[in-house]
């Protein structure tokens, strides 16, 4: 029956194809009692997910046979990436990663600039590494739709994404367009997409602000038997596990040194393809991935964008400052608030997407025209010390 439907779809004119596909959609009436949806928060779940992706991509031709049966890339190692997993009998049977835009960029940016995908200042994320175990496919799509519902929930709780991007092979694009409301960024396919084994793909985008209305207008209003609006937005479920009530990134477990050691061998070609700025960003989370030619100057220049904003605690007042430059012993800041020579400041400085450092510094120089100040560091926490050691931790001069 499935094969017959696929053959029939090809003969239906494009304007009516989505209508027919939605009419044929039947969602599970109840949540599967033996499947849980969560984020891969530990090494075991992560590597099960990477192995599942490898096997599924090998099956579809998106991967070639490798010595190690895992498929991953540096974007998946970022603490802000959410690797969603469906777990059955303590085994990962489905996975879908949501890569949030960071200073590393997104895989899709290799082919398309972010300005073509969203307006300036909007938050972009990319679907990546979708895989479902062969034995678990079908069943009214309970794993796929469960992962989509999970992503919507965590988006609502804290991610606040504006646009989702998906780089999809042509035979899969129709599913994302007809069922979820994705749109092609261009009718021209993208050739030689490296993250899909140099296959031809389409770039699809979804505006999440419009997503609920699109789902309602294409399902509930027409009383489609597979009412995706009710499934995603109104039906209660107990099958979704969250890290905590507020779903804070800080509670996600980072990669261990053993994992990073294994990833170094898996990522050799992928790391070689990153530019110095991207290498510095990934190494800011995992310093052991630093390259020999990754000088302190490159690392400092690549990381300075994270230090644009900081918070200054002055007596009972809190105000924002801008970091202009920094060195091992001090930093230069800009402040709209008037500060005094010799004054001590307590600072909270963002050093990555994930971490903020705290330090105490004393004003030793000021430039009233620029509203800038030179500070020497009196005391700093371990996060700042580790950060400085990473930035200036080689024998070259900056």
Express each pLDDT in 209-236 by its tens digit.
Answer: 999 999 998 887 666 656 888 888 888 7
Handedness of CA 146, 147, 152, 155 (dihedral sign): positive
Residue 38 belongs to some domain of the structure: yes
- How far apart (Å, rounded) are the C-alpha atoms in residues 289 and 280? 9
What is the structure's pLDDT at 214? Answer: 93
| Domain match, 251 and 358 both | no
In a domain, 224, yes or no: yes
Whether 310 and 221 map to the same domain: the answer is no
- C-alpha to C-alpha distance for 387 and 383, rounded to whole angstroms: 6
The CA distance from 260 to 265, in Å, is: 9
- Residues 215 and 320 reside in one and the same domain: no
Cβ count within 10 A of residue 29: 8
C-alpha 70/C-alpha 159 separation (Å) is: 27
The answer on 120 and 47 residing in a single domain is: yes
pLDDT tens, position by position, 181-204:
999 999 999 999 988 888 899 999
Domain that holds residue 337: 302-391
Same domain, 332 and 201: no
pLDDT value at residue 94: 96
pLDDT of residue 250: 38
Question: Minimal CA–CA distance to 235: which of 26, 22, 19, 28?
Answer: 28
- Number of domains within the chain: 2
In a domain, 364, yes or no: yes
Within a domain: 219: yes
Assess whether pLDDT exceeds 60 at residue 296.
no
Predicted local confidence at residue 329, as pLDDT: 87
Answer left, alpha or beta for residue 381, where phi above 0 means left and psi between -120 and 50 means alpha: beta
In angstroms, the CA 212 to CA 247 distance is 21
DSSP 116: G
Structural domain ending residue among the three candidates 222, 257, 292: 257
The answer to whether residues 66 and 124 belong to one domain is: yes
Same domain for 251 and 145: yes
Segment among 97-111, 137-151, 186-200, 271-285 with least mean pLDDT: 271-285
Instruction: Supply the pLDDT for residue 33.
Output: 83
CATH of residue 372: 2.40.10.220
* More confident call, 147 vs 119: 147
**pLDDT per position as a tens digit, 43-95:** 899 999 999 999 999 988 888 888 889 998 888 888 778 899 999 999 999 99
Together in a domain, 141 and 210: yes
∠ Cα 342 348 352 (to 5°): 135
Residues 356, 228, single domain; the answer is no
Query: What is the reported pLDDT for 247?
Result: 36
Asked whether residue 175 falls in the same domain as residue 97, the answer is yes
Window from 99-103, 243-247, 355-359, 374-378 with minimum mean pLDDT = 243-247
In terms of domains, do 370 and 232 share one?
no
Whether residue 273 lies inside any domain: the answer is no
% of the chain residues with pLDDT over 70: 80
Residue 158: count other Cβ atoms within 10 Å of its Cβ. Answer: 10
Give the pLDDT confidence score for residue 85 in this predicted structure. 95
Residue that finishes a domain, picked among 242, 257, 272: 257
The 8-class DSSP code of residue 253 comes to P
DSSP-derived pairing of the beta strands 82-88 and 35-39: antiparallel
In this structure, are 120 and 249 located in the same domain? Answer: yes
Is 377 within 8 Å of 360 (Cβ atoms)? yes
CA quadruple 180, 182, 187, 190: dihedral sign: negative
Question: The whole model's pTM is what?
Answer: 0.73
Given 257, 288, 315, which residue is the final one in a domain? Answer: 257
Contact 10, 174 (CB under 8 A): no
CATH of the domain at 47: 3.40.630.30
- 264 lies in a domain? no
Nearest to 179 by CA among 236, 226, 128: 226
Q: What is the DSSP string of 204-245?
A: EEEETTTHHHHHHHHTGGGT-SS-HHIIIII---S-B--SST
- How far is CA 332 from each of CA 115, 234, 329, 362, rounded to the nearest angstrom? 31, 51, 11, 11
């Amino acid at each position: 029956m499935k094969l017959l439907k696929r053959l029939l779809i090809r003969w239906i004119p494009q304007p009516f194809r989505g209508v027919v596909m939605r009419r044929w959609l039947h969602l599970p009436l109840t949540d599967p009692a033996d499947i849980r949806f969560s984020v891969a928060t530990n090494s075991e779940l992560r590597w099960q997910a990477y192995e599942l992706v490898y096997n599924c991509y090998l099956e579809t031709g998106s991967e070639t046979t490798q010595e190690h049966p895992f498929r991953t890339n540096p974007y998946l190692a970022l603490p802000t990436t959410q690797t969603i997993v469906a777990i059955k009998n303590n085994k990962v049977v489905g996975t879908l990663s949501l890569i949030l835009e960071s200073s590393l960029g997104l895989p899709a940016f290799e082919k398309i600039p972010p300005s073509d995908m969203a307006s300036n200042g909007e938050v972009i994320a990319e679907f990546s590494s979708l895989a479902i175990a062969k034995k678990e496919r079908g069943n009214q799509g309970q794993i796929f739709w469960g992962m989509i519902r999970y992503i919507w929930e965590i988006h609502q709780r804290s991610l606040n994404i504006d646009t989702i991007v998906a780089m999809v092979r042509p035979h899969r694009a129709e599913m994302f367009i007809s069922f979820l409301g994705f749109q092609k960024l261009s009718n021209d396919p993208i050739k030689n997409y490296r993250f899909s084994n140099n296959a031809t793909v389409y770039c699809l985008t979804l505006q999440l602000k419009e997503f609920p209305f699109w789902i309602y207008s294409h399902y509930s209003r027409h009383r489609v038997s597979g009412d995706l609006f009710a499934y995603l937005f109104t039906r209660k479920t107990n099958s979704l596990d969250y890290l905590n009530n507020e779903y804070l990134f800080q509670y996600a477990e980072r990669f261990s040194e053993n994992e990073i050691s294994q990833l170094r061998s898996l990522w050799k070609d992928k790391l070689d393809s990153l530019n110095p700025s991207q290498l510095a960003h990934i190494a800011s989370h995992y310093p052991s991935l630093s390259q020999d030619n990754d000088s302190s100057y490159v690392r400092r220049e690549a990381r300075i964008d994270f230090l644009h904003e900081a918070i200054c605690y002055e007596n009972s007042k809190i105000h924002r400052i801008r970091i202009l430059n920094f060195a091992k012993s001090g930093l230069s800041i800009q402040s709209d608030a008037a500060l005094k020579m010799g004054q001590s400041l307590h600072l909270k400085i963002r050093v990555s997407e994930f971490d903020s450092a705290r330090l105490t510094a004393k004003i030793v120089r000021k430039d009233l025209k620029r509203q800038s100040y030179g500070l020497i560091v009196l005391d700093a926490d371990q996060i700042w010390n580790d950060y400085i050691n990473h930035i200036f931790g080689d024998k070259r001069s900056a």
